A = this chain, B = another copy of it.
């Protein structure tokens, strides 16, 4: 293994000079730097991370905390793999590495995170979920460990950095989009009424409807295991002559499309759907879903960026970073204003 000493010898300088040249220290003359860099190349020098870590206390590695996923349910959402890739890509560029923490229980996650940090395996964390009173975040807060959260702010609004989409705006945009195409009776459907994402999107829906002077409805809860909900759902659609659905996620959307077809409703002919997330589920079956792309790769890249800033300067301001979304127009919305 070629070390800093070999380079130093070859370049005819002191090891410490090599170290400084490596870090592009301003107190090394350009001439010496060049000589050192040449020597490095000639010898094929690669810095030993362990040694750097030990001496500097930095690992150049970040931990990514996945939500406590039970079963293949949430785990299989393409989102996680996509964002992991995005984060890793950006990390590679910045000479960082990413390690992951996964478990099905929060407490186990917490101990993984604790260990990773106390063993000095990582410099900070990106948390891929946000939950109230989350022990992982509480731990990170308590020890002032650098971290950013991808998701909506819940607990420490001003004391942590959040990276998220503007879910309210997204829902409002959906309402306007549908209305521009002649839809007035718009129902918001979800399979979860607790998450921040749901809340934000639902508020956006309400505001959007209100602003247009349209009658809005309570969100419909769809759960295949609760027949009474299903009946109520279909009943609402018929009674209110609902012409469009806003559905909180792509998987739910395709389930609902199948459900509706069972009752004789065809998408988009009889009823239109705007969905969210633009996951790979959006285009496995026809009609392909018109759905909001939440720009996962930006979410990933930006969050890593903020984290690195925080790691390098603990005084970095916390902030809420908003990532823009786009609407992918596909086949699930019918334009009622166009005669055909």
Mark A residues whose CB is within 8 Å of B.
46-51, 53-54, 59, 61, 66, 69, 72-73, 75-76, 78, 80-82, 84-85, 88-89, 92, 97-103, 112, 115-116, 118-121, 251, 254-255, 258, 279-281, 284-286
Q: Are A285 and B46 neighbours in the complex by a CB distance under 8 Å?
A: no
The answer to whether A284 and B251 touch (CB under 8 A), given A50-B50, A98-B100, is: yes
Q: Are B119 and A102 neighbours in the complex by a CB distance under 8 Å?
A: no
Q: Which of B116, B120, B258 contacts A50 (CB 8 A)?
A: B120
The answer to whether A50 and B59 touch (CB under 8 A), given A99-B99, A102-B84, A102-B85, is: yes
User: Taking CB as reference atom, which chain B residue is nearest A73?
Assistant: B280
Q: Are B85 and A69 neighbours in the complex by a CB distance under 8 Å?
A: yes
Q: Are A49 and B255 neighbours in the complex by a CB distance under 8 Å?
A: no
The answer to whether A76 and B279 touch (CB under 8 A), given A48-B120, A97-B99, A120-B49, is: yes
Add 6 more A-B contacts to A48-B120, A76-B78, A76-B82 (CB < 8 A): A46-B115, A75-B82, A84-B100, A88-B102, A97-B99, A98-B99
Q: Are A280 and B61 neighbours in the complex by a CB distance under 8 Å?
A: no
Measured CB to CB, the closest approach of chain B to A111, in angstroms, equals: 9
User: Taking CB as reference atom, which chain B residue is nearest A108?
Assistant: B92
Residues from chain B with Cβ under 8 Å of A81 in the complex: 75-76, 80-81
Q: Pick the most buried of A69, A280, A286: most chain B CB atoms within 10 A of its CB.
A: A280
Q: Are A97 and B84 neighbours in the complex by a CB distance under 8 Å?
A: no
A81 to B78, CA, bound (A): 9
Residues from chain B with Cβ under 8 Å of A54 in the complex: 48, 50-51, 53-54
Measured CB to CB, the closest approach of chain B to A58, in angstroms, equals: 9
User: Taking CB as reference atom, which chain B residue is nearest A280?
Assistant: B76
Can you list 7 A-B pairs with a CB-CB distance of less than 8 A? A51-B54, A72-B82, A72-B280, A75-B81, A89-B103, A98-B99, A251-B284
A97 to B59, CA, bound (A): 14
Q: Are B89 and A279 neighbours in the complex by a CB distance under 8 Å?
A: no
The answer to whether A116 and B97 touch (CB under 8 A), given A50-B54, A255-B284, is: yes
A311 to B284, CA, bound (A): 41
A112 to B82, CA, bound (A): 18
A80 to B88, CA, bound (A): 15
A102 to B54, CA, bound (A): 27
User: Taking CB as reference atom, which chain B residue is nearest A224?
Assistant: B286
A32 to B89, CA, bound (A): 48
Q: Pick the most buried of A46, A72, A121, A255: most chain B CB atoms within 10 A of its CB.
A: A72
Q: Are B61 and A99 neighbours in the complex by a CB distance under 8 Å?
A: yes
Residues from chain B with Cβ under 8 Å of A279 in the complex: 72, 76
Q: Which of B73, B82, B88 contacts A100 (CB 8 A)?
A: B88
Residues from chain B with Cβ under 8 Å of A47 in the complex: 119
Residues from chain B with Cβ under 8 Å of A88 in the complex: 100-102
Residues from chain B with Cβ under 8 Å of A258 in the complex: 285-286
User: Taking CB as reference atom, which chain B residue is nearest A58?
Assistant: B50
